[in-house]
Chain A
Amino acid sequence: MTTAEEHKSNGIGKDLAIYACLLALAGLQFVIAYQNIDAPQMFMRMLVVAVVEAGLAAMFFMHLGAEKRGFLLFVAVFTIFVLLTLQYGWTDSYRMVTGAPFSK
């Protein structure tokens, strides 16, 4: 059975449930925005919520969870690896804050 036929056989209840979860998570981000916490902590909390939202959207709305396991791994591993390698510049960003000179 193809992914299309599998999708047809599922009810819309699942779609509505995921939609409600996404709305709730988006609302949670707005709640976090008004919490009395420092910026790094707020950023981490919002990022976690955003990653969960992205996971739900990718797995259920984009039907990545219903695809072949090998393809899911290809998308997930490739994307996460490149996202992680984009993080190399944060030490320089913090150096800008403190005004520390370049390393010798």
Chain B
Amino acid sequence: MSQTDLTMEGHSTGLTVGPAFSFPTKKLAMWLFIIADTMTFAACLIAYGFLRNGTANWPRPFHSITNVALMTFILLTSSLTMLFGLRSARAGDKAGAFRWIMITAALGIVFALLHIREWIGLIGEGMTLFKNPWGTGLFGASFFSITGLHLTHVTCGVIALIAVGVRYKGGRYNADDIEVLGLYWHFVDLVWMFVVPLVYLLNLAH
């Protein structure tokens, strides 16, 4: 057993098996990250709610729900395909797992492109970080920061999906690593479930 292994395990061979505290280390690290990131998004959304509640001329510019409904459907479906990928990985079906992971990544890319298209549309209507033609300039700052933060998470998730998928196919990663990545992807989807009603649906132009 190498010195690295002893450092990682903390014990010599045969005395113990698995990580300390009987919980997979990578999974615990991902859950701790998810909890921390939940706080970040919660702080952003609560700050947004604080501003919206306390500002009289808050814009309500969204006329159509089609785009956001499509984005929600795509992200939810990508969570399902991620589950299928994990299921295939657990069953030892490497090709199937890689296929489902790439489908998940593709759905993530489609989501990101739809999001960027929406941003371009809003910017074309005159909305920036500091002003817009409908009301207080705080709307643009809060909208772009919250949706931008989520889009960043989606983009990083897509990159991670591709990288982990390729390395899994090459034999460097195993099904446990797919599970850990799946946790992150489901978290990204979970955050979107809060962003949609608070940022989009409460600002529909009736």
Residue numbers of A with Cβ under 8 A of B are 4-5, 7-8, 12, 15-16, 19, 22-23, 26, 29-30, 32-34, 39, 42-43, 46-47, 49-50, 53-54, 57-58, 61-63, 68, 71, 75, 78-79, 82-83, 86-87, 89-90, 92-97
A8 to chain B, nearest CB (A): 4
Other contacts beyond A50-B197, A79-B38, A93-B50: 14, CB < 8 A? A15-B80, A15-B87, A22-B79, A23-B76, A43-B198, A46-B202, A49-B197, A53-B190, A58-B190, A82-B42, A83-B39, A92-B54, A93-B51, A96-B54
Known: A57-B186, A57-B193. A94 touches B53 (CB 8 A): yes
Binds A, one of B65-73, B114-122, B146-154, B158-166: B65-73
Band of interface residues on B: 35 or more
A83 to B176, CA, bound (A): 29
Q: Which residue of A lies closest to B31 (CB)?
A: A75
Residues 57-96 of B, flagged 1 when their CB comes within 8 A of A and 0 if not, give 0000000010001001100110110011011001100000
Residues 35-63 of B, flagged 1 when their CB comes within 8 A of A and 0 if not, give 10011001100100111011110000000
Contact present for A33 and B84 (CB under 8 Å): no
Q: Which residue of B lies closest to A71 (CB)?
A: B23
A81 to B184, CA, bound (A): 21
Residue numbers of B with Cβ under 8 A of A are 22-23, 31, 35, 38-39, 42-43, 46, 49-51, 53-56, 65, 69, 72-73, 76-77, 79-80, 83-84, 86-87, 90-91, 175-176, 179, 182-183, 186-187, 189-190, 193-194, 196-198, 201-202, 204
